[in-house]
Amino acid sequence: LPDNVHTTDFVPLDALLPTCAAIIHHGGSGTLTTAMAHGVPQVMAPSRIWCNVHKARAVQERGGGLYREADRLTADALRNMLVRVLTEPSFTQGAQRLRTEMLGTPSPRDLVPVLQTLTAEHHALQR
């Protein structure tokens, strides 16, 4: 490996991502949402399993990164995507907008009382 590459068994993404200018990943929910929470631009290479392609497309459409399906990705294409994400400020801005939107989403703690009220109202109407 080159001198500027370090390997490790495990590093929590929450600890690592604040130091990153971008992340390359498979489009899984945990990695994608952790990158969003830190406002890090994303380069995604999802497979067609579950909803990874749909999530990657949504991030790209909102300006927070780029994606290409893994089975259609070449090393040159991956490099070009990463260079764009690192050099075009719009991707950092898009990632920050996603972060702001994500942090503004109500938490389950905020939503549960609303759901309980709606459920009680529905049951009252059914009686």
Assigned token pair, 52: 């990874």
Confidence of residue 5 (pLDDT cuts 50, 70, 90): confident
Taking Cα atoms as reference points, which of 77, 87, 34, 79 lies closest to residue 59?
A: 34
The answer as to whether 19 is a domain residue is: yes
Cα–Cα distances in angstroms (integers) from residue 19 to residues 14, 54, 66, in the given order: 10, 27, 20
The answer as to whether 111 is a domain residue is: yes
The 10s digit of each residue's pLDDT in 13-63 is 999 999 999 999 999 999 999 999 999 999 999 998 889 999 999 999 999
Q: Which domain CATH number covers 120? A: 3.40.50.2000
Exposed e or buried b per residue across 63-85, where buried means at least 16 C-beta atoms within 10 angstroms of its C-beta:
bbbbbbbbeebeeeebeebbebb
Residues contacting 26, CB < 8 A, separation 6+: 44, 45, 46, 47, 52, 70
Q: What is the pTM of this model?
A: 0.82
Percent of the chain whose pLDDT exceeds 70: 100
pLDDT of residue 102: 95
Torsion, Cα 64 51 30 36, to 10 degrees, reads: 20
Q: Share the mean pLDDT of the chain.
A: 95
Neighbours of 33 (CB within 10 A): 14
Can you tell me the mean pLDDT for 92-97?
Answer: 98
The answer as to whether 77 is a domain residue is: yes
The answer as to whether 53 is a domain residue is: yes
The answer as to whether 93 is a domain residue is: yes
Determine contact, residues 81/56, Cβ cutoff 8 Å. Answer: no
The answer as to whether 122 is a domain residue is: yes
The answer as to whether 6 is a domain residue is: no
Number of domains, the chain = 1
Structural domain span for residue 97: 13-126
